[in-house]
Structure 1
Amino acid sequence: MVFGKKIDCIQWLLLVAISLGRYVEITFLFLLLFSYKWYQFRKIVIFFCVLLIHFCITNYFTGYTAGKFIQQFVILLFLSVSYYQFFRNYVPDLDKLWDKYIRFCVFLSYFGFIQFLIYILTNVDLAFFISLIDYAPQQSYRLRSYFLEPGYFATFIIPAVSYCFLQKNYWKQHKRRVIILVTALLLTFATIGYFVMFFFLIYQYRKIILKYCYVLIVPIIIFVLFILNYSTESQGMDSSWKAMVAKTSESINAFSDFEPEYFEVLNLSSYALLTNLWVANEAPCRLTGTGLGTHEINYEMEYQSNFFQYGLNQTDAYSLFTRLYSEFGVIGIFLVIYLLFKYRNTNNPINIAILIVFISYFIRGGHYFIYGVVFYAYLFYYTSSITINRMEVYNKKRINYL
C-alpha cells in the first residue's frame, strides 16, 4: 500500500478525471495500471463470465449482433478491475477519500456559480473546453459547472448534499459547504435533484412530519393536484422551475396513453423517458432481458418513427431502471434491488448517500460508466456492513497469525 502525498495526489486526480467525463476517467485509470501492486480479482472474473453466458443464451433467441455487447463488456470489465486495484492500493482510509469528494463538489459548485453568472450576463460559456473532450455541452440558463448537462452535475453532487444531512451535526460544523452545495443543486433545476431531496427530507424528518401530519395534509394534497393537473399547453415557457413542473406533469399523464405516438407531443425529457420505457416493455425476453448493451438494438427494432428527436437517449435508456429492465429483464431488476438492500449500511452515512444516488440513477441516468458510476459502486460496497465485518474478521485472523 502506497502512503503519503502520492495517495492524496492520485485521489484528487481521479476525482478530476471522473468529473471531466468517461474518456478522461478511462485514460487516467489506464495510466494507473502500471503503478499498481496487483491483487487477485476472481469474483470479478466470475461475474463477467456470468454476463457473457447470459448474453450468449439470450442472443441464441434474439439473434442480435454482438458489437454493442463487446464494447460495453470490455469497458465495464476494465473499469471494474481498475477500480478494484485502485481501492486496494490507493484508499487506505475511505473517510479521507470521501472528504476530498465533498470538497471537490464544493469547488465544482463555486465554478458553476461563476460559469452560470457569466453565461447569464454575457452568453459566454466558461466550460467550452468540455466540447474538446466529449460532445458539446447543453447550453441553458441552469447551473451545470463544466458537466455536459445540468442533470449530470446534479446527480454527481447528490451524495455530497445527502451526506450533509445524514452525518450528525455536519451542517452545523460546515454551514458554508452545505449552503453552497444545496444552492448549486437547486440552481440546476434538475427534476431528479428536487425529487431525490424532497423524498430524502421527508425520510430524514419523518418523526416531525408524522407528529404534525394533520397540518401538512392540505398543502401536500394541493401540491400533488397541482403536479397532476398542471397544463401541458405551456410549451413555450421560459422559467426553468415551470419547465420542471410541466415535465413531471406530462410524464405522469402520459402513462394513461402508453403509445409512442402520444409521447412525441410531450416535452423532450418526457418523450425520452416514456419511449425508452415503452421499448423496454415491448422488447423480447422480458424475464431475463436481451443482454448487456442491447437496449439500443431493442429501441431500433421495436420503435420506428420520423420524429425529429427519434433516438433520444436510446444508448442509455434515460434511466437505469429502464435499461436494466430492457437488458436484464425482471430478474435483473429484482437482483439489483436485492443487492442494494443487502449491502446497505444504515449506520454509515456515506453508504446511505451512495444508495440515494443509485436511486436517482434508477430515475434519471442509464449509463453504466459515466461520471463515476463504478466508483460509486465500489464506495457503496466498501462501506457496507457486510464488507466492513468481513474485513474486521480478516484483520483479526491476520493479527493472530502474525
Structure 2
Amino acid sequence: MYRTTLQGVLLASSILAGVGTAAAADVTLNIESWRNDDLQIWQEKIIPAFEAKHPGIKVTFSPSAPTEYNAALNAKLDAGSAGDLVACRPFDTSLQLFEKGKLEDLTGLEGMKNFSDVAKSAWTTDDGSKTFCVPMASVIHGFIYNTEAFEKAGVEVPKTVDQFFAALDKIKADGTYIPMAMGTKDMWEAATMGYQNIGPTYWKGEEGRKALIAGTQKLTDDAWVEPYRVLAKWKPYLGDGFEAQTYPDSQNLFTLGRAAIYPAGSWEISLFNTAGLKLGAFPPPVAKDGDTCYISDHNDIAMGLNAASAHKEEAKVFLEWVASPEFATIYANALPGFFSLNSTAVEMSDPLAKEFVSWRETCKPTIRSTYQILSRGTPNLENETWAASANVINGTETPEAAAKKLQDGLDSWYKPAKM
C-alpha cells in the first residue's frame, strides 16, 4: 500500500510538473503599432505563420491610432505597461527611445545579417555602432494613374517634366477628369507626396541630402528651391477647392475615378486596388531625357524590443523570424506597397507593387530629406516643410521665400558637425 501511494504521489507530481512546464512555456507577446489598418493581416496571416512554427509563444497585435501612437507609446513605456514588441518609426523618434533606454540593443541579433547598412540606417545610432530595431519595410514615392483617363485624353506615361505638364494640359483640356488629385489642407500631403516625391530629382538624392546635413548645401540653393518652383506649377491642375481638400478627400476623388493622376506613396496600393480601376504607376519625371532617375525609397517601419519586457528571449525568437525571408515574403505580399528591406529578393504578386519596386533597378534611391538629424530641433524642419509646401502650391508664398524661411529656421538651432 505504501508503494502504491508513493507511486500515486509521484505520478501526480509528474503531471503537475508537466502542467507547470506547459504553462511556463505558454508565453504571450504583445505588439504595439501605429498601423491599425493592417490588424486583420497580422491576425489572419502573419501571426498564424509564426505560431505554427513556435508552439508555446502566442502573439497579439494591439495597434493605436497613427496620430496617437507616439504619445501613447511613450506613456506606456514610462508606466511600464507597454507591449513586449514595439513597431519603430524611422529615425529620430525611435532613436530617442533607444537613447532613453526604452528599446533593447539588437545589434547582435543573428537576423541583422540579412539587412544592408542602408536598410538599417533608420534604426541605427548616428555613429553606426548600434542597431535597435529589425527593419521591416520601406515605401516608395511616385505617381499612380488611371489608365482609362490617359487613354481618354490620348496621353502617354511621361518620363520628363515637360512631358508631365504636357500630359496634365491634355487631361485638363479634355475635361473628363481632374488632372491630379492632391489637396493642401492637411499640409503633410503637399510635402510628402509633393516636395519629397519630386525633390530628389533636383538635389540628386543622397548626394544632396547628406550635403544638407554636412552644411555644404543650403535649402536656399537652387537644387532645393527648384522643386518648389515645379510644385507651384501644379496649382492649375488640382481641381476646384483643392485648398480645402483633405488627404481622405484626395483618396476618394481618385478611387471614385474622378482624377487621372495621384501623387502617391506606395502604401496607397492596397486601398486603390479595391476601387476596381485599371491603374498604372510612373516614377518622378526627370528634368530632361538622359538624366538620372531618383526615387524616395523611404525606410518606414521596423520592430523593436521593449527593454522592460518580461519575455525578452521569446521576443528575440519573434524578431529573428521578422528578420527572415519567410516573414519578408508574407509581409510584402499581404501588404503590397510596403517593400521588404531584407537582402533576400522577395517575389511579389501584385502588379502595381511590382511596378513600383522595379524602379529600384533604374533609379537611385534616397530617403526623405528631413527625417535624419535635421528635425531634432525647433523649429522642426519636417513640420515646417509641410507648411512651406502647402503655401507654395496655394500661391501664398514664393518658392524663394519658403526656402529662405526653412533655412533660417534650421540655422537657428542646427550647426553641422565639423567633418
TM norm structure 2 = 0.25
Q: Which protein has the larger Cα radius of gyration, Structure 1 or Structure 2? A: 2
Q: TM-score, normalised by structure 1?
A: 0.25
More helix by share: 1
The answer to which structure has the higher strand fraction is 2
